[in-house]
Amino acid sequence: MPFPRLRNLVSYALAATAAAAALFLAGRPALQSSKFTPAQDFDILESAVRQIRNNYVDEANPARTMEGAFQGLMGSLDLMSAYLSRDLMAVAAAPRLDRYYDVGLAVYKRPGVFPVVVGVAEGSPAAKAGIETGDAISAVDDRSTLPWSYNEFRLSLKSPEPAPVKLRLVHDNATSEKTLTRALPYPAAAGWTAEKGTAGIARLYHLFPGATAAFSSAVAPRIAGSKEPLILDLRGCREGDVAEAAPFINLFLKNPKAGTYERKGGVKTYLECPAEPVFSDISLIVWVDPATMGPSEIVAAVLRDLKRAKVVGTTTAGLTGEQKLFPLKTGDGLLLTVAEFVPASGERIFEKGLTPDVKLEPDKQTRKDYLEKSKGIAAGR
């Protein structure tokens, strides 16, 4: 027979889960069952909790029960919102996340499915280990990734130290395990390489604070006086802060209403680019792929919608929400989407992704293919 104190803990955990879910259902009509009222939903939930407490074969683990309940609640919201454990809260709250060690993976993750690799950073531990796009990651350090959110997975790969991490991979229906030692993912925020017939290819690796200044310093001296188009390579630009998108966009255009953040209750705020742009005259071609995520998607969307650039590549990830951390009393917390970015065209790209002006076929997405399309645009073809 289970110890009474443990049974009380389980009862408390399950009851708290039911209460949280009830408040959630009552406060979000769009997510209610199509068949039942909120009161009926709560009765069904309470009945399920009672059956688990009284008849489940084993004594439920309170901490795991609560974690699973919160993961389920967050998973019903959107791709970006997440329940974060105490350890992951510490990572998410780090002031300079770009200085955390990582393995160099970009993944796409929906609730209830394994994360799928959509990008591997060149020279990263993941690249050196032979991980490829299309691989699924079923476990991290022997913990299943199935119930995790996108941000739970992303943050679980980060560490303030170059610590090892074990990944279980699924490739062509075969499972394997690889232990990778984390490394610093971003030696630089931006870089530039020469390319005949263009003003060069400017690569942006992240949009954490300081990336805009670093990009300007790296690129401005290289393209001064050029009459050719500049290629802005946002492929694999998977991380950053939403707040850094506006000053970066402002490098190329001036507009006090470059886009809109839509918040709860119909409240709207503008993405503002009020300063005179540094690169006002040079024409732009932007490269994107499925690993173009978050702030870099906002950059591409604004430059496209305000007719400042042509976008070449594939549909992006659609992770264009503004997020905020909400700590809980126990040290864990919630990472919630508090606003959705909408570009000037009004096109909804959150959870859908940005559609490029020139879309590449699945079998033609190499650097050579991007260049061929870009030079065709430059030549007016």
Q: Which helix (H) or strand (E) holds 311?
A: strand 309-313
Please spell the DSSP secondary structure of 340-359, one letter per residue.
EEEETT----TTT-PPPSEE
Enumerate the domain spans of the chain. Answer: 4-60, 94-181, 190-378
Token digits of residue 186 = 């971003």
Show Cβ contacts of residue 327 under 8 Å, excluding neighbours closer than 6 positions: 89, 333
Cα–Cα distance measured from residue 314 to residue 290, given in angstroms and rounded to the nearest whole number: 7
Show Cβ contacts of residue 96 under 8 Å, excluding neighbours closer than 6 positions: 208
Which residue type does 271 have? L
Cα–Cα distance measured from residue 295 to residue 273, given in angstroms and rounded to the nearest whole number: 15
> Is the pTM here over 0.75, yes or no?
yes
Please spell the DSSP secondary structure of 195-212, one letter per residue.
-TTSS-EEEE--BSTTHH
Q: Give the pLDDT of residue 372.
A: 95
Which residue type does 275 have? A
Report in angstroms the alpha-carbon separations of 14 from 11, 22, 38, 61, 63.
5, 12, 18, 10, 10
Q: Is residue 109 a contact partner of residue 155, using CB atoms and an 8 Å limit?
A: no
Cα–Cα distance measured from residue 353 to residue 184, given in angstroms and rounded to the nearest whole number: 28
Cα–Cα distance measured from residue 204 to residue 39, given in angstroms and rounded to the nearest whole number: 50
Cα-Cα-Cα-Cα dihedral of 174, 176, 181, 183, to 10°?
A: 10
Instruction: Could you please state the CATH topology (level 3) that the domain comprising 94-181 is classified under.
Output: Pdz3 Domain (2.30.42)
Q: Give the pLDDT of residue 73.
A: 76
Q: Is residue 302 a contact partner of residue 271, using CB atoms and an 8 Å limit?
A: yes
Please spell the DSSP secondary structure of 245-290, one letter per residue.
HHHHHTTT--EEEEEEEEEGGG-EEEEEE-SPPTT-SS-EEEEE-T
Q: Is residue 147 a contact partner of residue 68, using CB atoms and an 8 Å limit?
A: yes
Q: Give the pLDDT of residue 253.
A: 97
Instruction: Could you please state the CATH topology (level 3) that the domain comprising 190-378 is classified under.
Output: 2-enoyl-CoA Hydratase; Chain A, domain 1 (3.90.226)
Q: Give the pLDDT of residue 74.
A: 75
Mean pLDDT per segment of 10 residues, for the chain of length 381 residues?
38 47 45 56 67 68 63 82 94 94 96 94 96 97 94 97 97 94 95 95 97 96 92 98 97 97 96 96 96 98 97 97 93 93 94 96 93 89 65
